[in-house]
Amino acid sequence: MFPSSAARTAASRLATRVLVSSSSRAPSVAAASVAQQPSLMAVRYFASVSANEYVMSTFLPPAEVQERILTVVKNFDKVDPTKVTATSKFSEDLGLDSLDAVEMVMAIEDEFAIEIPDAEADRIASVSDAVEYVAGHPMAK
């Protein structure tokens, strides 16, 4: 049962009296909670998800990430831009050696303003690996 409008008005007056009477003293917890209005805030949940929800768990859209990574790879000076595809492997398809692959990962780090740990960077051997890693990274911009 909901309170009547008279009860709501009485409660509002009581809250006003509490605020007015406590204004000369240090504010109490009750007065502070009455004075503040609840604010809207965004909540991001960091939890494991099922395979069906994988697309929902990414932080940047995979299509945008793929487009930006393809641009980075095509602009790399030791890569022939005509050979770059979404499934290109750095060493096999693009002819990059291990040092060039490290430089490629560094260029991707710069593009998305993230830092990829060495252990993770060693696992990134293709454009699709890079897209998967960056799309799931919470700090990628």
| Catalytic residue set | 97
Q: Are 140 and 134 within 8 A, CB to CB?
A: yes
Task: Return the HEC string of 36-73.
Answer: CCCCCCCCCCCCCCCHHHCHHHCCCCHHHHHHHHHHHH
Q: Are 141 and 112 within 8 A, CB to CB?
A: yes
Q: What are the percentages of helix, strand and coil residues in the chain, rounded to 5?
A: 55, 0, 45
CA distance 82 to 94: 10
Residue written as token pair 């859209």? 61
